[in-house]
Amino acid sequence: MNKKGLLIVISGPSGAGKGTICKELIYQQVPNLELSVSATTRNPRPGEIEGKSYFFKPKEQFVEMVNNNEFIEYATVYDNYYGTPRKYVVDKLEEGKDVILEIDVQGAMKVKKNTEGAVFVFILPPSMEELKNRITSRGTETLQDIDKRMHKAYDEVCCANNYDYVVVNDDVKSAAEKIKCILMAEKCRVNRAQIDFNSFKEV
């Protein structure tokens, strides 16, 4: 039987680079590591694939899934629903896969409340000034939007104490390596090692 996989929740302020770090981990082909696939009610965008990019659901079906407690967490974003299907994550963990859940701070706190054994990693930018530079450089936000994101970022950073680890993303490859080390360390915990200590008897 495979050992049960590990659920790793990665979150942090918008612009901290959590999505880029997750892509780097997958690009490095870390063994048995997968990104969780979310469900959404929004329409597919060009190039997006059902079951790989998202599980695309009609709003009525999504609401029914909410009522049936089929999500670990869910949220409404710009009139669309987004959520993490419980069965998908549980099935992957039972297969022995480690699953990365990249979500916002609010969603992470819901996961912490609703699950046991997950590892929570908070991604920090090198500084708030650098965070603002990253958001501004996108060129897609108004000054008012940037101010809103920065105020939210300050609030989210205050939640870092609720996480198990913090990783500063001053370099994507370095940040990804740190998360790989976190994975290794967590798998060496006594309660996860699944070692039969009775077999180590005095002879």
The pLDDT of residue 120: 97
d(CA 72, CA 63): 14
Domains in the chain, start-ordered, CATH in brackets? Answer: 7-36+97-199 (3.40.50.300)
pLDDT of residue 94: 93
> What are the residues facing 101 on neighbouring strands?
9
Per residue in 132-151, pLDDT (tens digit) is 888 888 777 788 888 888 98
- Candidates 106, 162, 158, 152; CA nearest to 132 is 152
pTM (predicted TM-score): 0.85
Q: pLDDT value at position 1?
A: 43
- Whether the per-residue pLDDT at 2 is higher than 70: the answer is no
Nearest CA to 71 out of 86, 91, 51, 56 is that of 86
| 71-127 pLDDT per residue, tens | 999 988 778 999 999 999 999 999 999 999 999 888 899 999 888 899 999 999 999
pLDDT at 28 over 60: yes
* 37-68 pLDDT per residue, tens: 999 999 998 898 999 889 999 999 999 999 99
Question: Measured at the alpha carbon of residue 129, what is the angle toward residues 27 and 119, in degrees to the nearest 5?
Answer: 45
Q: Which two tokens stand for residue 89?
A: 């994550």
Cα gap 131→137, rounded to integer Å: 10
Quote the Cα angle for 163-86-10, to 5°. 25
pLDDT-derived band at 35, boundaries 50, 70, 90:
very high
Q: What is the pLDDT of residue 79?
A: 84
| Average confidence (pLDDT) over 181-199 | 85
CA 66 vs. chain centroid, Å, equals: 20
Give me the sign of the Cα torsion angle 75, 9, 20, 151: positive
